[in-house]
Structure 1
Amino acid sequence: MTTPVIELREVSRRYDDGPPALHEASLTVGRGEAVAILGPSGSGKSTLLNLIAGLDRPDTGTVTVDGVRVDRLGEAGSALYRRAKIGMVFQFFHLLDDLSVADNVVLPARLAGMARGAARHRAAELLELLGIDRHARAYPGRLSGGERQRVAVARALMNRPALLLADEPTGALDTAAGQDVSRLLAELNAEGQTIVVVTHDLALARSCTSRTVEIADGRITADLPAGTVAPAAPAVPAEGVR
């Protein structure tokens, strides 16, 4: 195992009086890995993502990302942690429609205190790398879904995060654009970026990650190389059958 970027130890999270959204989950992700978190709606994968991102705290257990004990951070500390360590890509892009593409990409660096000239240079590099530099002065509403997701990826990479989190990154895209984004994530990982993709799409997991972690009813049920099918649970004999 390479140096861990993510270490979760016996993490549980319950909301109100319902069953645990996550129950005693342990997970390690090494530096440079690309991991897919798979599961149906309500399985606990979004809770897991929120705990890693510092958007929520566990009731029990520990969450460590790139040497930071995320579960110990307060609100201000969590915001600084996300700014320094995490890049996030969402299903619906979350771009600011009244800012140009370049200004959307620059925003995280400016919030982190990077000088304007350095931030503009970094943004220009990323837009060229992702093949959307010709849209630098355009507004997000003029772009296709695939192009907007590339802008979102550029923004997420702006501060050179230790970890890129992608939450259903192809869920709002057509098939062709989704495949384009999948290839982009695979290319970023090949260059050394650590990536965790949260999805219910097995095809996406197979195309851009090397490992799949399956969650059901708040529990991690499988941790396998991408494309491997988890063994089915043994059938329970019907009454009277031996």
Structure 2
Amino acid sequence: MPQVIELAEAARQYDADGAPALGPLTLAVEAGEALSVTGPSGSGKSTLLNLVAGLDKPDSGSVTVAGERIDRLSERALARFRRDRIGMVFQFFNLLDDLTVTDNVLLPAQLTGRTGRAATARAAELLETLGIARHAKAYPGRLSGGERQRVAVARALINRPDLLLADEPTGALDTASGAEVRDLLTDLNRSGQTVLLVTHDLALAEACASRRLHLVDGRIAADRAVVAR
């Protein structure tokens, strides 16, 4: 299987006199994998996510995503790469309250110039698949937390990304809504979507992932397959 993520001796250090926030770290994630990343606060989880998303660059080593050396890209090229190749889901949804559900989902497509019937049909398909088609014309403020996170997932998938990044996707949800999002991420991966999930929730990490990475002090402390999902 092709590799969607490849880090080669990637390291990031914010404090010149302190220990590296991450690495040096070598990691490969194949297409179709669901990798959960866990670890205590300060272990490097967010730094790893930011490097893979192109929101930060390593001080040394390389970061390749979907075949592109993103650590060599300019900020403008990185923005285009994220828009076209990566979907991102955040803890607090980041939806625009003055836009309808459909318009929120369509935003990334509009940024790529993909407008009209094809984009609208894709949005409708995602809302139907994710079980929120009845809310297409509603505004986010009228939805539950779990429903808003489903809208955020639909928005992340609108451009058919190579990689879905999920940063604490259940952190702001109640237990029932969190279970819905857990099942959703599991189903997405089973359909072939490559997922990188960063979470403090060990139950979520075990339920959603085919592989679990545990970081301590910026290094890999454990890397193992999740047998049963």
Same-fold status (TM-score > 0.5): yes
What letter matches 2:13 in structure 1? R
| Structure-2 separation of matches of 1:227 and 1:213 | 14
Q: Does residue 81 in structure 1 map to residue 81 in structure 2?
A: yes
Partner of 1:213: 213
Q: Does residue 103 in structure 1 map to residue 103 in structure 2?
A: yes
| Structure-1 separation of matches of 2:164 and 2:23 | 24
CA RMSD of aligned residues (A): 1.1
Correspondence list, 1:84-163, <5 A: 84-163=84-163
Which range moves more in the overlay, 219-228 or 71-80? 219-228
Cα deviations across residues 25-50 of structure 1 (Å, max 9, x unaligned)? Answer: 11100000011011111110000000
Partner of 2:15: 16
| Structure-2 separation of matches of 1:227 and 1:31 | 18
- 1:227 Cα shift? 6.8
Please state whether the residue corresponding to 1:212 is helix, strand or coil: strand
What letter matches 2:7 in structure 1? L
Partner of 1:3: 2
Please state whether the residue corresponding to 1:182 is helix, strand or coil: helix
| Structure-1 separation of matches of 2:104 and 2:196 | 23
What letter matches 1:93 in structure 2? F
- The alignment of Structure 1 onto Structure 2 pairs a total of residues equal to 227
Which range moves more in the overlay, 13-22 or 132-141? 13-22
Confirm or deny: 8 A CA contact 1:206 1:227 kept in the other structure.
no
- 1:224 Cα shift? 0.6
Partner of 1:235: none
- 1:116 Cα shift? 2.1
Please state whether the residue corresponding to 1:95 is helix, strand or coil: coil
- 1:216 Cα shift? 0.8
Cα deviations across residues 150-193 of structure 1 (Å, max 9, x unaligned)? Answer: 00000000000000000000010011110110000010011000
Please state whether the residue corresponding to 2:113 is helix, strand or coil: coil
Which range moves more in the overlay, 75-84 or 113-122? 113-122
Q: Does residue 194 in structure 1 map to residue 194 in structure 2?
A: yes
What letter matches 1:11 in structure 2? A
What letter matches 2:11 in structure 1? S
| Structure-1 separation of matches of 2:15 and 2:206 | 35
- 1:13 Cα shift? 0.3
Confirm or deny: 8 A CA contact 1:54 1:82 kept in the other structure.
yes
Please state whether the residue corresponding to 1:173 is helix, strand or coil: coil
Partner of 1:68: 68
| Structure-1 separation of matches of 2:27 and 2:173 | 29
What letter matches 1:12 in structure 2? A
| Structure-2 separation of matches of 1:213 and 1:141 | 35
Q: Unpaired runs of 5+ in structure 2?
A: none
Which range moves more in the overlay, 153-162 or 214-223? 214-223
- 1:107 Cα shift? 0.3
- 1:3 Cα shift? 1.3
What letter matches 2:86 in structure 1? I
Report which of the two structures shows the higher radius of gyration computed on alpha carbons: 1
Taking structure 1 as the reference length, the TM-score comes to 0.92
Confirm or deny: 8 A CA contact 1:110 1:116 kept in the other structure.
no
Please state whether the residue corresponding to 1:120 is helix, strand or coil: helix
Q: Unpaired runs of 5+ in structure 1?
A: 229-242
Confirm or deny: 8 A CA contact 1:36 1:213 kept in the other structure.
yes
